[in-house]
Amino acid sequence: MTTDLFLQLNNFYQDNAAAIDQERWDDWMETFTDDCIYRIQSRENFDRNLPMAALSMEGMGMLKDRIYGITETIFHDPYHQTHVVSAPRVISIEGEVIHAEANYAVFRTKNDGIAQIFNVGRYIDQIQTSDTGFKLKSRICVFDNDMILNSLIYPI
């Protein structure tokens, strides 16, 4: 892997997190392929190869539906998220697909101004490469928390 490719991959991870933090949902969805998989799953279930996930979506239609819910129908105490994402670790490259992982921490700040650690874990990604850039074919967010505080509204 070249240094230039690594820097592009790192920027891709940071841009994805910034799109969530800034609630730029169209930009966030643009980071996925049309037939994507997006799952948020506990480490316990992931390690045991159990299917239960806190959130599981397949395909762009389900991502769009979730964003519609976030912006139009779900009522919750407002909060802001801030992601801290490590540099990605490339596991392998198979043709035009990069298998990579990165650690993440998501902080949540409610209107009272108190920040909390909301969710921590790692991304396990399959990233489709092309001349136009990167797109996530699959993102599995494996979280270490024993539980998710209150409810899971926004993507991790």
Sign of the alpha-carbon torsion through 9, 15, 16, 17: positive
Q: According to the 3-state scheme, what is the secondary structure of 127-138?
A: EEEECCEEEEEE
Q: Quick one: which of 14, 32, 58, 46 has its CA closest to 142?
A: 46
Which among 55, 61, 41 is positioned nearest to 121, based on CA atoms? Answer: 41
Write the pLDDT tens digit of every residue in 8-67. 999 999 999 999 999 999 999 999 999 999 999 999 999 999 999 999 999 999 999 999
Q: pLDDT digit string (tens) for 100-123? A: 999 999 999 988 989 999 999 999
- Banded model confidence at residue 150, pLDDT cuts 50, 70, 90: low
Here the tokens at position 131 are 């001349």
Q: Which domains does the chain have, with CATH numbers?
A: 3-143 (3.10.450.50)
pLDDT band of residue 79 (cuts 50, 70, 90) is confident
